[in-house]
Structure 1
């Protein structure tokens, strides 16, 4: 069977080569009906863009750099592993390679990206683990290195080149689920490291329940992101009169639910975050972050910047999904959009 080319696909579908190129690189520019036809033909034919040809034509490396995420516990770390896998898959489908590199700090990460860009090994980079007053976007912007970040610019100027999951909405949905399950005093198990992501999730929980600052403080227990901290935190919440908890992670939820089961408590009372394999095996309700959508959106933004360095980008929030398990109010398993 003859290998499919851009020209043969264009002839088969009676569209221009540019249309096919746009479907591969900038799908939002193509009408949905045409995009579906082209994508189906690409999949059927096994067509793959030539990275070498595109690199020579565009004077690009056809590669992007991503820092290997710092080690986390085996539960929470699985989400960033999934993100890396999805960004590699999405980039490959668009004819790009991903250069994965280690870095000991955020500052070191910027230096590595500058080095890779300076040696023409990459065209741009993907930042993760954004933090309050994170200076990485500013430094890369000043150096002229195209980038996109998975995470908002917490407390910094909005550069627009970001995608994030609406953790506040996810935590609000978790609190709503527990309230609808009959709980009147719902606590929050969070992180003690000052994470803006954790603070955002806590705000969603408190807002949904209409808590005053004093009430929210009394119902919050923070600690490291471990199952042990979740268990001890849940014990403190129960001792303080709470009957349920929204957790900033599945690690904390694992400990909280284990403590409840050891005490013989039943019924839906703990909601985690990230919908990891641990949550699924424990039959725990958890907030799922649509990692595939996040990765593809991040790549789309970066490629848009590479195509037009002067383009004005707008950050995008992705809606999470509450994956309900165990006995819901209707007595069945369900999935709830946030």
Structure 2
């Protein structure tokens, strides 16, 4: 290679000349190796490696009519709580290169997940597939994606038709049951519960987390009072104040999210209780709220969920058909000061968080 070509990127023509084959043969080696004789296949691959040839992703995309991109709707994912959304998007972004795709976030004016934003992304050929979030009973998106044969995978079970879809989800019932067992192991007595209302499209998530607490606490005969509120700090603090009324120092509260747990913390301090020594508090999600405020929390396995979803999408893109699969992944309880009974002081109060709605 001439001096002036020393730093030039190798082309498909360079590989063809070096291997003494046609440009089409090189293309077949890269895209359809089963069409090439073994000895030619090996010779071309050696020249590809020697020259450091890398096919143009843009050209490959034009030939396959693929964008190499996976869309994710910010409207939907942010409703799960901004901290969890941020962590989930980070895990998806980190995992995407391993699956030869990149993420394209988008949003729509609709206040709840609808198909319009997805239709627009497909119409403009910006993405090849989608990751869904905030799935719920009556969700219109899976049916439209199935009908149009657009690959997708969902963070959360597709409750209307789980047998037809690819999804990964956290086992919410297992998580709150772990929280109850942790509190009993730490010596707390009654265990109350603060969760979300069940009369809404996304109620299956609320019910699963409530069920884990109810089953585990009832089995021990220590189920305390229960309350519900919106995914909003002001509402959670108000509901927690009423929930704590019949409780006594030495009791505890399991919450459906870290944000609700923070509401319990504020309500407890307003009563002069120390969170940890006097009142045990466990949140759910493993969000930044939990680490910032010293909360014991049930962490969602977001990295595993992201990999499972992108893997399912890759299988669909390469195989041409959706293979129904569901993975219910186990969460992990991470202890924090909010369940430390041996502490002499409770966890410190910091400035209130911004309200975050589910």
Bin of the TM-score, shorter chain as denominator length? 0.7 to 0.9
TM (norm. structure 2) is 0.71
Aligned counterpart for 1:151 among listed residues 152, 156, 160: 156
Unaligned segments of structure 1, at least 5 residues: 8-19, 22-45, 332-338
Instruction: Give the Å deviation of 1:3.
Output: 10
Structure 2 residue 67 is the aligned partner of structure 1 residue 61: yes
Relative to structure 1, is the Cα distance of residues 264 and 184 closer, same or farther in structure 2, using a 3 angstrom cutoff?
closer
For structure 1, which segment, 108-117 or 197-206, has the greater mean C-alpha deviation from structure 2 after superposition? 108-117
Aligned residues: 293
Aligned counterpart for 1:273 among listed residues 281, 284, 287: 284
* Corresponding residue number in structure 2 for 1:297: 308
Instruction: Give the Å deviation of 1:71.
Output: 8.5
Q: State the distance in 2 between where 1:4 and 1:300 align.
A: 31
CA deviations 1:73-122 (Å, max 9, x no partner) are 8x931111221222233223433232221123387642222232233322
TM (norm. structure 1) is 0.75
* Corresponding residue number in structure 2 for 1:233: 239
Instruction: Give the Å deviation of 1:325.
Output: 1.1
* Corresponding residue number in structure 2 for 1:183: 188
Q: State the distance in 2 between where 1:3 and 1:221 align.
A: 67
* Corresponding residue number in structure 2 for 1:131: 136
Instruction: Give the Å deviation of 1:157.
Output: 4.3
* Corresponding residue number in structure 1 for 2:172: 167
* Corresponding residue number in structure 2 for 1:223: 229
Instruction: Give the Å deviation of 1:72.
Output: 5.5
Q: State the distance in 2 between where 1:107 and 1:170 align.
A: 27
Q: State the distance in 1 between where 2:77 and 2:314 align.
A: 28
Structure 2 residue 269 is the aligned partner of structure 1 residue 261: yes
For structure 1, which segment, 143-152 or 61-70, has the greater mean C-alpha deviation from structure 2 after superposition? 61-70
Q: State the distance in 2 between where 1:169 and 1:105 align.
A: 33
Supply the RMSD in Å over aligned alpha carbons: 3.5
Q: Is the partner of 1:52 in helix, strand or coil?
A: helix
Unaligned segments of structure 2, at least 5 residues: 1-5, 13-29, 32-51, 344-358
Q: State the distance in 2 between where 1:329 and 1:264 align.
A: 12
Q: State the distance in 2 between where 1:275 and 1:229 align.
A: 21
* Corresponding residue number in structure 2 for 1:315: 326
